[in-house]
Amino acid sequence: MPARAVLGSVVLALVLLGSTTPAQAVTGPSTLDAASAATPSLAAVQAGRPGQRGKARQKRVTRMLRIVKAQKGDRYQYGAAGPNRFDCSGLVYFATHRAGFRSVPRTSSQQGRFMRRVPRAAMRPGDFVFFTGGSGVYHVGVYTGRSKGRRMIVHAPGSGQRVKSAPIWTDRWFPGTLR
């Protein structure tokens, strides 16, 4: 391995471990002080948690949820992505883009592939619920929490209806997140 690569690896390890000497970088610090305890791991940095990136991302998720809830009562229109008419994925697209998540795709099936899946038990308000059938994802809603023991979403249900809150009505779904 070239000397530069070794030096770069040692420096990276020093930063990640909060160490002050190359020996500590290899073996780890002998005691955790406040500075090294506050140093996030590489995995945490990449995942956007903890720290400022994670907090900023959570603020955008919270903003997105507020935007979705503000659309309640707007009319459904197939293929519409707002600001006053929506289909299900158009509602998600509109709210996520307004909240700063510019890379979220337009259709529910694309959104289902784009979002990171999470276990149902780990869902938080602002996560997404993707409904599946024989041909894959056919509908999406935004999880808002539980009411009377049931998981609730805000979604654009279909023709002749308006954006509204509703309990999840089937067991054929999976959650996704931008957290």
Burial tier of 49 (Cβ tally within 10 Å: 0-12, 13-18, 19+): middle
Of 82, 129, 139, 176, which one is the catalytic site residue?
A: 139
User: Which class for 1: exposed (0-12), middle (13-18), buried (19 or more C-beta within 10 A)?
Assistant: exposed
- 155 is known as an active-site residue: yes
Which of 94, 155, 175, 178 is an active site residue? 155
Q: What is the 3-state secondary structure (H, E, C) of 109-175?
A: HHHHHHCEECCHHHCCCCCEEEEEECCEEEEEEEEEEEECCEEEEEECCCCCCECEEEECCCCCEEE
Place of tokens 């945490």: 44
Catalytic residue among 25, 88, 104, 156: 88
Contacts of 147 (CB under 8 A, 6+ apart): 167
* The pair of three-digit structure tokens given for residue 78, joined into one six-digit string: 């197939």
Three-state SS for 64? helix
**Catalytic positions, please?**
88, 139, 155
